[in-house]
Amino acid sequence: MSEKSDSVTVIIVARDEEGGIAGIVEQVKPYADEVLVVDGHSKDRTRELAAQAGARVILDNGKGKGAAYKAGADDANKNILVFIDADGSHEPDDIPKLVQQLTSEQADMVVASRMMGGSDEFHGNILNYIRMVGGGLITLLINLRHKAQLTDVLNGFRAIKKDVFLNLRLKANDFDIEHEMVIRCLRMGYKVTEVASHEYERKWGRSKLPTFRKAHMFFWRLLG
Ligand SMILES: Nc1nc2c(ncn2[C@@H]2O[C@H](COP(=O)(O)OP(=O)(O)OP(=O)(O)O)[C@@H](O)[C@H]2O)c(=O)[nH]1
Ligand SMILES: [Mg+2]
């Protein structure tokens, strides 16, 4: 296969993640032709540490995680995009498993499933449990509407062909980008698959998702 047909940009979205951004950059490097950190105007040393570790660093437009995804996709130089969080929740060693689904043409987008791979977060406290149940409900509604059999539409760890991402013309600028990607792919006839991947607890810093304040956003996004 030619270099162009299977080269990978790993996009790490990060806001105030100095606790471990350098380690994540190092961990994804073996699986990346390019490592791009999209920074959300961090007030800590995230940008500096990411660049020192060898990543290219750009800024998002300040609108949120979804806007960061779109900025990363626009800027990526390779034709396969892997999105991974910067808080140590995801398993970088699973990147080849994700990419393989695209290079073998089994999928146009592949999502890492916590339902298949397990999670250290789901049952740890009431907030996490509510997030799991809410995520399950959103997954069910998407499956019913699109006759799909997915298990985890909200996990940020995923891979997608760059041209497919750009064709989706995504509107979401926040955490609702994850299921908007799935909905648009299914609606446009792209193949979406999942692979098992374990989720760890956030290893440092603080969550950027105020679950209750933004809960309505996740359900509105189901409407289009
Ligand atoms: N560039 C950018 N990154 C963001 C923004 N908001 C969140 N992120 C990153 O998106 C990833 C997911 O955010 P988290 O705060 O971990 O959200 P979460 O996984 O739902 O919450 P936890 O379970 O507490 O980890 C992290 O790497 C964040 O740093 C943003 O506005 N811009
Ligand atoms: Mg997280």
18, 46, 85: which to mutate for ligand 1, most atoms within 8 A of CB? 85
Q: Could you tell me the pTM of the whole model?
A: 0.96
What stretches in the chain show pLDDT beneath 50? 1-3
pLDDT of residue 203: 84
In the reported structure, the alpha carbon of residue 207 is separated from the centroid of ligand 2 by a whole-number distance in angstroms of 6
Q: Dihedrals φ, ψ of 59, to 5°?
A: -105, 145
pLDDT of residue 18: 97
pLDDT of residue 160: 98
User: Any residues with Cβ below 6 Å from ligand 1, and which?
Assistant: 13-15, 17, 38-40, 60, 64-65, 68, 85-87, 89, 121, 156, 202, 207-209
In the reported structure, the alpha carbon of residue 1 is separated from the centroid of ligand 2 by a whole-number distance in angstroms of 35
Which residues are within 8 A (CB) of 205 and not within 5 positions of it... i.e. 6 or more apart? 16, 17, 18, 19, 87
Q: What angle do CA 85, 88, 91 make, to 5 degrees?
A: 85
pLDDT of residue 123: 82
pLDDT of residue 213: 78
How crowded is the C-beta side of 131, counted as CA atoms within 13 Å?
20
Ligand closest to Cα of 209 equals: 1
Give residue-wise pLDDT tens across range 159-189. 999 999 999 999 999 999 999 999 999 999 9
Where along the chain do its domains lie?
4-223
Q: Count of CB atoms within 10 A of residue 203's CB?
A: 13
pLDDT of residue 3: 44
**Options 3.30.10.20, 3.40.720.10, 3.90.550.10, 3.30.420.60; which CATH number does 4-223 get?**
3.90.550.10
Kindly state the tokens that stand for 189: 């006839």
pLDDT of residue 150: 98
In the reported structure, the alpha carbon of residue 2 is separated from the centroid of ligand 1 by a whole-number distance in angstroms of 34
In the reported structure, the alpha carbon of residue 130 is separated from the centroid of ligand 2 by a whole-number distance in angstroms of 15
Kindly state the tokens that stand for 37: 């950190």
Residues of 47-75 as b/e, b for ≥16 C-beta within 10 angstroms? bebbbebebebbebeeebbbbbbbbbbee
Kindly state the tokens that stand for 161: 């062909």
pLDDT of residue 2: 41
In the reported structure, the alpha carbon of residue 142 is separated from the centroid of ligand 1 by a whole-number distance in angstroms of 23
Ligand closest to Cα of 211 equals: 1
Ligand closest to Cα of 85 equals: 1
